[in-house]
């Protein structure tokens, strides 16, 4: 009977906090902004990268002195996506002024030296300080080396030597990660954004309903209502968690739309966030939302003012960002113990899910379990704080 009443009061508090925060337009906009800005920004950058990759695949090769090397021009024209044109007169100037990405110059003595099997000179004019044309330049270099390799094989065969003698090593790269896994490595920011969205989404309610409530003077009248303190704490916590989960859903949908729009397959990345991922993503992040909301509530209750609480939030937000940042410095992997760390577990689960490897039930349960345990301890602490006269009436 008492438990039922407490549960009902918890829901009443939760409903009120949600309604109250939905009307806080300014806070809503700032949450929306911080949830949206990251994915959009990175999406924009990725799109640029993809464009460049496409440009490199279809490469235009301006050659000065085409008539001196007709065989090379022929060979180049036969390669897929290569288009040979007559080079500009002042090649270096054209490259420096960025009119051309790369220019190949065939010097006067090319044909003569080529015929007599001496190294035939070729000049490659390029500006190595330009990042945007680097794929094009590399492609041209690669094409020329390939041509050279073919010619040297032919020459060896003519002299009765097997071309294999020239290749003491046969190096073959074996890529073990699946395309989706590679994508997840590159797109480590998506798990990070989802986690930050979970953190930011609950922050407003967690601080406004504790530190803010006290600062407005509405905490005292609230506590005159005959409800156990845990009902107030749990209600506020539930509201913050729900807001966090909504914000996670929003970011997930946004990232899904982005990956579709970006045509990542052009970069050799196959990453797809489809409806089948939403369930596992939520399973991975919802327990973290419970934990972060509980943490925010406890810290904001301890803070002396709303401003101070906000300052602490600025520090705490490093929590959900840390795994993403660390993983770009050195690989975190997905050892069993990683799932048992509150912020790390959800991150590793997310990279698993987005990498196309759906982990079993144990990692999910381990991560959810530790998050729940930590939340329970924090709720206990906050409830104790809510009983302290020092906290209720300020210090």
Partner 1 sequence: MIQIANARKQFGNVTAVDGVSFVAKDGAITGLLGPNGAGKTTTLRMLYAVMKPDSGDVHVDNVDAVASPQDAQARLGVLPDGFGLYPRLTAREHLDYFGALQGIESDELAKRTEELLDLLDMRAIADRRTGGFSHGERTKVALARALVHDPQNVLLDEPTNGLDVMSTRAVRSIVRRLREQGRCVLFSSHVMQEVSALCDSIIVIASGRVVAQGTPDELRQQTGYQNLEDAFVALTGLDRGEHE
Return residues touching partner 1 (CB under 8 A). 5, 8-9, 12-13, 16, 19-20, 23-24, 216-228, 389, 392
CA distance 72 to 66: 9
Residue with tokens 């902004």, as numbered in its chain: 33
Q: How far is the CB of 13 from partner 1 (least distance, A)?
A: 8
Per-residue tokens: 301: 């209750």
Residue identified by tokens 């409903």 is 15
Taking the complex as a whole, the smallest distance from the CB of residue 308 to partner 1 amounts, in Å, to 20
| 140 and 105 Cβ atoms separated by less than 8 Å | no
Side-chain-facing half-sphere of 134: CA atoms under 13 Å = 6
From the CB of 5, what's the least distance to partner 1, in Å? 7
Distance of closest approach, residue 234 Cβ to partner 1, in angstroms: 13
In sequence order, which residues have a C-beta less than 8 Å from that of residue 394 and are 6 or more positions away?
214, 304
* Closer residue to partner 1 in complex, CB, 13/258: 13
CB closer to partner 1 out of 224 and 336: 224
Nearest distance, CB of residue 241 and partner 1, angstroms: 20
Residues 6+ apart with CB under 8 A from 389: none
- Judge whether 297 and 237 are in contact, CB under 8 Å: yes
Residue among 67, 215, 59 at smallest CA distance from 144: 59
Residue 387 CB, shortest distance to partner 1, in Å, is 10
- The phi and psi torsions of 355 (rounded to 5 degrees) equal -80, 5
Yes or no: say if 319 and 199 are a contact pair by the CB < 8 Å rule. yes
Instruction: Report the residue number, 347 or 386, with the smaller CB distance to partner 1.
Output: 386
Sign of the Cα torsion 341, 344, 346, 352 reads negative
CB of 194 to partner 1, least distance (A): 29
Question: Which residues contact residue 92 at a Cβ distance below 8 angstroms, ignoring those fewer than 6 apart?
Answer: 103, 125
Pick the closer one to partner 1 by CB: 100 or 208.
208
CA distance 62 to 83: 8
Closest approach, Cβ 131 to partner 1, in A, equals 49
Q: What would the DSSP string read from start to end of 339-364? A: GGSTTHHHHHHHHHHHTT----HHHH
Number of other residues whose CB lies within 10 A of the CB of residue 141: 13
Q: Which is nearer to partner 1, 98 or 218 (CB)?
A: 218
Q: Which is nearer to partner 1, 5 or 99 (CB)?
A: 5
CB of 242 to partner 1, least distance (A): 18
Residues facing residue 83 across a β-bridge: 60
Comparing CA positions, the residue from 144, 180, 151 lying closest to residue 166 is 151
Pick between residue 70 and residue 394 the one whose CB is nearest to partner 1.
Answer: 394
Name which of 12 and 372 has its Cβ closer to partner 1.
12
Q: Decide whether 83 or 216 has the Cβ nearer to partner 1.
A: 216
């Amino acid at each position: 009977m008492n438990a039922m009443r407490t549960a009902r009061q918890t829901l009443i508090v939760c409903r009120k906090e949600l309604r109250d925060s939905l009307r806080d337009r300014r806070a809503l906009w700032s949450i929306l902004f911080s949830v949206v800005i990251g994915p959009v920004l990175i999406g924009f950058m990725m799109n640029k990268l993809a464009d460049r990759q496409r440009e490199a695949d279809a490469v235009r090769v301006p050659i000065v002195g085409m008539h001196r090397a007709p065989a090379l021009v022929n060979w180049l024209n036969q390669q897929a996506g290569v288009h040979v044109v007559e080079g500009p007169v002042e090649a270096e100037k054209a490259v420096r002024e960025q009119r051309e990405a790369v220019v190949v110059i065939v010097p006067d003595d090319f044909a003569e030296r080529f015929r007599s099997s001496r190294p035939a000179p070729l000049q490659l004019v390029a500006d190595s300080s330009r990042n945007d044309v680097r794929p094009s330049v590399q492609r041209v270099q690669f094409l020329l080396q390939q041509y050279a390799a073919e010619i040297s094989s032919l020459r060896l065969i003519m002299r009765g030597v097997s071309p294999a003698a020239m290749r003491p090593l046969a190096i073959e790269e074996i890529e073990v990660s699946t395309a989706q896994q590679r994508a997840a490595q590159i797109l480590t920011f998506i798990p990070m954004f989802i986690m930050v969205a979970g953190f930011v989404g609950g922050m407003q309610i967690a601080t406004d309903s504790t530190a803010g409530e006290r600062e407005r003077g509405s905490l005292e009248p609230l506590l005159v209502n005959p409800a156990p303190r845990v009902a107030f704490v749990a209600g506020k916590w539930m509201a913050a968690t729900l807001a966090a989960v909504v914000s996670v859903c929003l970011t997930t949908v946004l990232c899904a739309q982005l990956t579709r729009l970006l045509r990542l397959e052009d970069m050799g990345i196959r990453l797809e966030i489809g409806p089948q991922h939403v369930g596992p993503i939520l399973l991975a992040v919802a327990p973290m939302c419970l934990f972060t909301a509980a943490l925010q509530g406890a810290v904001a209750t301890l803070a002396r003012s709303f401003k101070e609480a906000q300052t602490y939030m600025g520090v705490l937000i490093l929590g959900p960002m840390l795994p993403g940042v660390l993983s770009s410095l050195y690989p975190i992997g997905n050892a069993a113990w990683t799932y048992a760390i509150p912020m790390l577990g959800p991150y590793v689960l997310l990279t698993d899910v987005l990498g196309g490897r759906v982990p079993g039930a144990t990692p999910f349960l381990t991560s959810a379990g530790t998050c729940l345990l930590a939340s329970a301890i924090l709720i206990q602490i906050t409830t104790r704080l809510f009983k302290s006269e020092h906290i209720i009436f300020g210090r």
